């Protein structure tokens, strides 16, 4: 894990980052605004996304045990992965096919916790600038370098991997704090409920936990199937807590 120091940063996205992008995502872009100041305490974050090998150890250790489940998880729901095709199942590939309840249980079992959206974004930005991606403003294929595992316009395979890649495969895309794969590879569940207007209520907030309730959870980072504009730091995807998909994965946090 990597220690992220306490600090204040600017959270959210600016209109210039999505000029010319698909009109169908305008509501999503609206949810990134306004840019607002947030103060965070120090925390640890996983340097890499949780891998299939790590997740399998969790499944083996918790078979039939509900100790680490979220209180709201239905008793008849397990934590098995879904949609795990051969090209997604490598030991060192990010664990996908995971829902929000799986993420919560895994982090608890590992002695950790889920990240808040603000923590995730701060760890990706590396400070107080409004960089578009963890590495800066350059596009994810700038200067002939592949900075992330995403879906280029030329096709899914041209960045080196048609689907997920072993964690840490794109070292040029590391965040300023040293965190890997925060753009692309697997999407990452965070703790927060999703609300389009939440950022309008949190200027100057300290350790914001997200809305008190909702019906969808925030997903950050984009995936190997996402175009460039969806792997931006500010992008706020979302899903229902029980949704599992072939792009949804895990990263955990811990108190210092």
The β-bridge partners of 133 are 136
Q: What pLDDT is attached to residue 144?
A: 87
pTM as predicted: 0.96
> How far is the C-alpha of 40 from the C-alpha of 117, rounded, in Å?
11
Show the domains of the chain with their CATH numbers: 2-66+80-254 (3.90.1580.10)
Closest-CA residue to 223 (of 178, 176, 189): 189
Strand order in the sheet with 237-239: 237-239, 217-220, 187-193, 248-249
Q: What pLDDT is attached to residue 28?
A: 84
Q: What pLDDT is attached to residue 24?
A: 61
| The pair of three-digit structure tokens given for residue 74, joined into one six-digit string | 């239905």
* pLDDT tens-digit profile, the chain (256 residues): 999 999 999 999 999 998 888 776 678 889 999 999 999 999 999 999 999 999 999 999 999 899 999 999 999 999 999 999 999 999 999 999 999 999 999 999 999 999 999 999 999 999 888 999 999 999 999 988 999 999 998 888 888 899 999 999 999 999 999 999 999 999 999 999 999 999 999 999 999 999 999 999 999 999 999 999 999 999 999 999 999 999 999 999 999 9
CB 32 within 8 A of CB 199: yes
Helix segments in the chain, DSSP class H? 26-30, 52-62, 100-109, 117-125
DSSP state, 16? G
């Amino acid at each position: 894990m990597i220690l992220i120091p306490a600090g204040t940063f600017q959270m959210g996205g600016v209109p210039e980052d999505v000029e010319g992008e698909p009109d169908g995502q305008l509501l999503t872009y609206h949810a990134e605004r306004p840019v607002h100041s947030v103060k965070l305490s120090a925390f640890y974050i996983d340097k890499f996304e949780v891998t299939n090998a790590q997740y399998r150890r969790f499944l083996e250790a918790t078979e039939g045990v509900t100790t680490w489940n979220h209180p709201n998880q239905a008793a008849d729901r397990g934590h098995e992965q879904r949609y795990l095709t051969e090209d997604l199942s490598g030991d060192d590939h990010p664990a996908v096919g995971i829902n929000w309840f799986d993420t919560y249980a895994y982090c608890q079992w590992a002695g950790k916790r889920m990240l808040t959206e603000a923590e995730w974004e701060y760890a990706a930005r590396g400070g107080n600038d409004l960089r578009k991606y963890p590495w800066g403003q350059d596009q994810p294929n700038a200067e002939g370098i592949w900075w992330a595992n995403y879906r280029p316009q030329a096709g899914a395979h041209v960045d080196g991997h048609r689907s997920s890649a072993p964690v840490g495969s794109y070292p040029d895309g590391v965040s300023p704090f040293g965190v890997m794969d925060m753009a692309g590879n697997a999407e990452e569940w965070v703790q927060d409920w999703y609300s389009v207007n939440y950022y309008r209520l949190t200027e100057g907030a300290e350790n914001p936990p997200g809305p008190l309730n909702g019906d969808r959870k925030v997903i950050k980072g984009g995936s190997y199937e996402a175009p460039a504009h969806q792997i931006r730091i500010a992008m706020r995807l979302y899903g229902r807590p029980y949704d599992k998909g072939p792009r949804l994965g895990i990263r955990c946090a811990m108190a210092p």
